[in-house]
Amino acid sequence: MNFYVKTYGCKLNQADSEIIKGFLSKEYKETSKEDADFVILNTCGVIKKTERKIIKEAKDLKKKGKKVIIAGCLPMISLEECQKVADGIIGPSNLLSILLVVKKALKGEKLIETKKENIDKSFYYGKEEKSSLIVPIAEGCLGNCSYCATKIARKNLVSFSPEKIIERIKNSKAIEVQITSQDLSVYGMEKGSQSLVSLLKEIIKIDRDFKIKLGMMNPGYTLKIMNELFDVFDSEKIYKFIHLPLQSGSDDLLGKMRRPYLSKDFVKISKSFRKKFKETIIATDIIVGHPSETEEDFKKTIKIVEEIKPEVVHIFKFSKRKGTEDFKLKDLPDRIKKDRSRILSNLCKNINIEKNKKYLNKTLKTLIVEKRNQSYLARTDSGRAIIVKNGIIGKYYKIKIIDYKWNYLIGEV
């Protein structure tokens, strides 16, 4: 029997998919979607548009005679809709049951596994070793954002064992390790005996040459550990890359969203990061068109983006999700959401074009981290992406920049 896993959404979902593949590969063969007997849709439930896309894909697969298992966050948010199209359902904390759910589905029995289970995902290895490894260090968060459906799916913070996380990285040969969770900055806070800083100090002691890329960190909690965190960033093993979700430049709107920080906290961390390190990448997330967002609120967001000039901006048009506090609010017209998204997208694109233009004809020290089609992806010390035609994965090269796009550089060894 053949299987295929399709992943929607974030790095956490990608990590979950690797675990799913690891379990399934013990008894089944991974193949293309077309040749698969059953398909796992590992879903995201953040926005309604994605939900509609997932449900449609499930229906299309079933018309082709394939069994469909819906995994991930969506069943925790829209279980009723998933039940209509799925042959089996499994939540993000129930991955140990994936083989059972699949076997039941193949027999025509629908098993639904969505009860919260605290499993240490850092311990479960993926199907195969890759040059880039995603390591989840926690699930859930300490927040209670008014718009967030992910909280419904992944619940409260559960930090994974530092010993198992370190063991996982030690046993890997990956040359790039991506540390992920919903909010890295709160790692260990529910236990009080461990922290992100202490974990990173142990990871960088591992006697092997590799790079670490850190995932999303809430500005409010990051500010509390900023100085110690930036000291750890001094390590050559850590990309000078930081992901801080701003969501809005308006403190009034941040308060309504129940975000536990002020816009000045985001600015302070970003400026301190730029000041401490020569070459940096700042990534952020921004919601446009929240029901309470005024034109003035949006202008404040634009102002901060112009001030900080983040290299990576994930823009989300607000989407009402059932079960959240903001579900009851009257939505803004789609026209306003689209306009604000377009304005912000164009601004960010132009900022990056101007930045990337300055790299033309410069020679940069880079690490080649993976092959992409007929090219290779190299990264600088900040994690800046450069596409080259040749090289060896895991090797450092001096690369001359010969061209650029708005979101990456093009170079030659």
pLDDT tens digits, 228-282: 999 999 999 999 999 999 999 999 999 999 999 999 999 999 999 999 999 999 9
| Cα–Cα distance for residue pair 347/199, rounded to 1 Å | 37
**Structure confidence by residue, pLDDT tens digits, 211-233:** 999 999 999 999 999 999 999 99
Token pair belonging to 311? 């290299």
pLDDT, averaged across the chain: 95
Per CATH, is 2-113 categorized as 3.60.15.10?
A: no
Does residue 142 or residue 124 have the better pLDDT? Answer: 142
CATH 2.40.50.140 fits 363-412, yes or no: yes
Question: Are the C-beta atoms of 218 and 247 separated by less than 8 Å?
Answer: no
- Dump pLDDT digits (tens) for 4-39: 999 998 889 999 999 999 999 999 999 999 999 999
112-113 and 2-7 beta bridge pairing: unpaired
| DSSP reduced 3-state for 13 | helix
Residues above pLDDT 70, as percent of the chain: 99
Instruction: Return the CATH number of 121-357, one of 3.30.310.50, 3.80.30.20, 3.20.20.70, 1.10.3720.10.
Output: 3.80.30.20
For residues 60 and 82, give the distance between their C-alpha atoms in angstroms, rounded to a whole number: 14
Count of residues for the chain?
Answer: 413
Which sign does the torsion angle of CA 18, 23, 29, 34 carry? negative
Between the CA of residue 55 and those of 5, 48, 90, 222, 248, what are the distances in Å? 15, 11, 15, 37, 30
Read off the pLDDT of residues 326-340 as tens digits, 9 standing for 90 and up: 999 999 999 999 999
pLDDT at position 130 is 77
Mean pLDDT confidence for 313-320: 97
The ranges assigned to domains in the chain are 2-113, 121-357, 363-412
- The pLDDT of residue 10: 87
361: left (phi over 0), alpha (psi -120 to 50) or beta: left
Q: Are 399 and 378 in contact (CB under 8 A)?
A: yes
Rama region for 313: left / alpha / beta (φ>0; ψ in -120 to 50; rest) = beta
- Contact between 385 and 409 under an 8 Å Cβ cutoff? The reply is yes
Q: What pLDDT does 126 receive?
A: 61
Q: DSSP state, 247?
A: B
pLDDT at position 44 is: 94
Nearest Cα to 177, choosing from 391, 370, 406, 397?
A: 370
pLDDT of residue 56: 97
Strands (E), 81-198: 88-90, 112-113, 132-136, 138-139, 158-159, 176-180
Check for a shared fold between 2-113 and 363-412: no
